[in-house]
Chain A
Amino acid sequence: MFGKSRLGGFLAGASGLFLLLPLVAVIPFSFTAKRFLSMPDGEYSLRHYVAIFDPDTWLASIGTSTLVALLSSVIATALAAAFGIGIWLRRPASGRFLIGLVLLPIIVPPVTSAVALYFLLAQIGLLDTVPGLVLSHVVMIVPFAVIAILGALSRLDRNLELAARNLGASQMQSIIMVILPNIRFGLFAAWFVSLVMSWEESSVTLFVSGVNVITLPKRIWDNLRLDLDPAVAAISVIMILATTLVILLRKSET
């Protein structure tokens, strides 16, 4: 009803603008010539974009975040796939309970998880290390990967697995040759969601790292609190551009 009317179009545009404006507002900030976060008054500069490439601060954090996101997303996807396929194949009586257990990190407030992980990592000596951070991220993002994979499995014909077994494939062969290829989109979705979730994870990260290992969200956080460095605006603009690019690329594919 709204969809075709002018009013509908106007409302959609207005709400879109409302959501996007804060993002757009950050753009001029990034070109300021001053050393603190402010609107440029006549003078424009790219110095804050150059600052991003400082290997000791911003670039180091981008590297750390990339490494942590890649590692934890791959591990989370593998664990979620193993869990999902196991549940799908065996259909244990405790299946619902187990799924609930795995999804718990979504329901529990992040701070609670963060405190728990803090004590765990302190115990095993992994506080403020990349492995410790990867472990924490995996715990936090596995539920989302599990949701994506269980969704893909629920659309998979059970007889495919039986057909593979019937034709002489072992359990493992049928998983590798039939089940995995047929949930590949679910696997990709799980991996991609995990990557993004890890990339932007901040609440647990603040607790379990911050001195030796500083991820990008953590550095942005620190900067906003302590420095108001316009490099934050510059990095935000780059992230907005990257996101827009991904969306446009996906659109042109379909």
Chain B
Amino acid sequence: MTALRAEGVFKVFGRRPNEAVRRLRDGASREDVAGLGTAAVIDTTFEVTPGEIFVVMGLSGSGKSTLIRMLNGLVRPTAGSIILGEHDLAKVSAAELRDIRRKRVSMVFQHFALLPHRSVLDNAAFPLEISGVDKAERRRRAAEALGMVGLDGWEDSLPSQLSGGMRQRVGLARALAADTDVLLMDEAFSALDPLIRSEMQEQLLELQQTLGKTIIFITHDLNEAMHLGDRIAMMRDGRIVQIGTSEQILTEPADEYVATFVADVDRTRVLTAGSVMVRPKAVVFAAAGPHVALRQMRDEQVSAAYVVDRNRKLLGVVRDQDISAAVRLGPVALVDLTRDEVSAVSTDALLAELFAPAAETPLPVPVIDARGRLVGVIPRVTLLDAMTPTTAEVAVVDPATDPSDAYPIAVGPDLDTELDDLRLTTTGDPR
């Protein structure tokens, strides 16, 4: 099912747009057709599924603003079709277009676009006024929308009396009051301070959980795109170069451009534990004895192992020195030696949330699924590795040549196991 579909959409501004489209279809570049017009959007095809946040990400001049304006007919495509429900926005009449805008698709603007002489309530009620909803009803629904964005009590204020973040909340409430399935957000948070911006992002995600709108969000901020987007379309020079989830774009960039772009992203806020975890090496079933556990640790050259039950549910961790001490005193069950102090993380935890658990213990951080089963572990090396972009060269600082450098940038991949080896030797063989 699709909420909105764009097929082979072109937009060329200028004197001879159709000729430009023909040449672009024949493989001409944006520069080749510059004499015929400005090709803002070139051969763009994508689908948006109901209830998803679809982010279009691109720098200025990439055509993203033109693209979003074609999705509600503010700009008519030169070629191609935009299917919204049963309508093709490229073909509808002006009256039909107005009807679609009233019922199907609303918009939030970068600079809020509020009416300065109208109260906050009347601004939020504006779309309903346009649709011909009677006064009492539209004021009630507008007040409800203002409540959703946390602006209760500000109904009678004027927009100029509000801060930027609050004004954009009015813009959001206005779009929500229209109660359309599709919500277009054109750089909606770009004009806000960073702190207010992330606050608004959280609020949008929160609202989206209950409302389940289809949101098409335009931004030039990749971190924002990755944070909000269920899927992201990367735009460059009028074309969509890649569509995918933030993890796909981060880990499998379609081309050099996307790769250099994502190099700066705070990967710890995009990648999840599930995407970087590795297969746990030392895992013992609780039913197995202490000796089995010890042998397994020795085989894997580690000093501790995770203990799981029959369903692979994580029970805790067991250490070699505990086992060796206990078996000297007599037979003992593995469960009694298991410590439950490990802090496991879920598969969808962001890497940023993993630093604290990783710092608490020298062991790899265990990753569990929704049912508490151990599905993988994240050693510290993996965590550090995942933060480095795939394309970037890893700089290696040799401590010998630069003794003043107390923090080598790169660590050897075997550091963890080396430490574990050390511990194994000091503990000695229990038998």
Q: Are A and B genuine complex partners?
A: no
